[in-house]
Amino acid sequence: MRKIKELVIERGLLLSALITIAVTVGIVLVLSIEAVNFFSEVSIIDFLTDPEWTPLFTDKHFGILPLLSGTLLTSFIAIAFAVPVGLSISIYLSEYAPKSFRRTIKPLLELLAAVPTVVYGFFALMVVTPFLQSFIPGMSSFNSLSAGLVMGIMIIPYISSLSEDALHAVPNSLREAAYGMGSTRLQNSFKVMVPAASSGIIVSIILAISRAIGETMIVAIAAGQQPRLTFDPTVPVETITAYIVQVSLGDVQHDSLEYKTIFAAGITLFIFTFLLNTISYRIRKKFQEKYE
């Protein structure tokens, strides 16, 4: 009886693992097949070099660059904002703050990641953009700066929390060595702790980048839906994710070339996040070896 129970549990666990793998493989397959279909009609060179993305217009252009630039621009703004803020928070919590404060503030910070992204999107559009417009005249109501900044707020906990974990995991003996040598708290933090935790910190930043690149709602609401090859943060742009939303929600016919564009865009996005995840996995593995 007991053996059967064990067997059922074992098979059940195996099944749930297999389902996850099957779903992943399925997604990659669908993406690849549809993308291959798309590239049988549009040359991959055009896709990578054409500076215009107008699949829904009569004069169709299929250059991914404008969407890519929109994605990279908003993500860059988010990262440029979140890395210094998130890192400062993590260093403060791990090396300066009293333990009790750390225990209270960390879960609160992690709440930032739990706010629904649609709320962030409206926050960007209704609060941050008007605020920024009062400094930057001529800024469009849809722009990458506001969306990027708010996305930055959203990913702060990814950086602060994971970096804090990495700093906290540095053996206390190193902290003692640093203080024993006469380091100030600042020297201890930046000359010993941050270098010692660097792989964990880099992983946290990569995860945050990958989260920013994949983020959809905020950019769809606040950054606009105009594919544009630009690095001007005050004008509307469109990210890959926002484009996919636009087409999915619109009345584009299934199996049309226009419809297939979302798979081409999707696989581009997938390649990016896949690469980032692979890099962070490699770094994490190296990190584990170091302290074992």
Partner 1 sequence: MSKDKKESVIESSIKRKYKLQAKDVKVWYGDFMAIKGISMDIKPNKVTAFIGPSGCGKSTFLRLFNRMNDYVDGFKMGGEINIDGSNINAKDINVELLRKQVGMVFQKPNPFPKSIFENVAYGLKIQGLKDKAFLEERVESSLKQVALWDEVKNDLNKSALALSGGQQQRLCIARTLAVEPSIILMDEPTSALDPISTAKIEELIYKLKDKYTIVIVTHNMQQASRISDNTAFFYLGELIEYDKTNKIFTNPEKEQTENYITGRFG
The only residue of 6, 10, 46, 176 in contact with partner 1, by rule CB under 8 A? 176
User: Residue 94, Cβ neighbours under 10 Å: how many?
Assistant: 23
Tell me which residue of 63, 86, 59 sits closest to 166, measured CA to CA.
86
The only residue of 76, 92, 122, 179 in contact with partner 1, by rule CB under 8 A? 179
The only residue of 109, 174, 202, 257 in contact with partner 1, by rule CB under 8 A? 174
Q: Assess contact for 189 and 134: CB atoms under 8 A.
A: no
Instruction: Please identify, among the stretches 51-59, 156-164, 179-187, 229-237, the one whose residues bind partner 1 according to the rule CB under 8 A.
Output: 179-187
Would you say 48 or 177 has its CB closer to partner 1?
Answer: 177
The only residue of 195, 248, 255, 288 in contact with partner 1, by rule CB under 8 A? 195
Near partner 1 in 30-89, by CB under 8 A: none
Rg of the chain on CA atoms, in Å? 23
**Residue 184 engages partner 1 in binding (rule: CB under 8 A):** yes
Would you say 80 or 177 has its CB closer to partner 1?
Answer: 177
Tell me which residue of 68, 28, 235, 225 sits closest to 140, measured CA to CA.
235
**Residue 137 engages partner 1 in binding (rule: CB under 8 A):** no
3-state class (DSSP) for residue 62 = strand
Beta-strand ranges (E) seen in the chain are none
Instruction: Please identify, among the stretches 83-91, 184-192, 205-213, 263-271, the one whose residues bind partner 1 according to the rule CB under 8 A.
Output: 184-192
> Exposed, middle or buried by CB within 10 Å (0-12, 13-18, 19+), for 157?
buried
| Site of interaction with partner 1 (CB under 8 A) | 99, 171, 173-174, 176-184, 187, 191-192, 195-196, 290
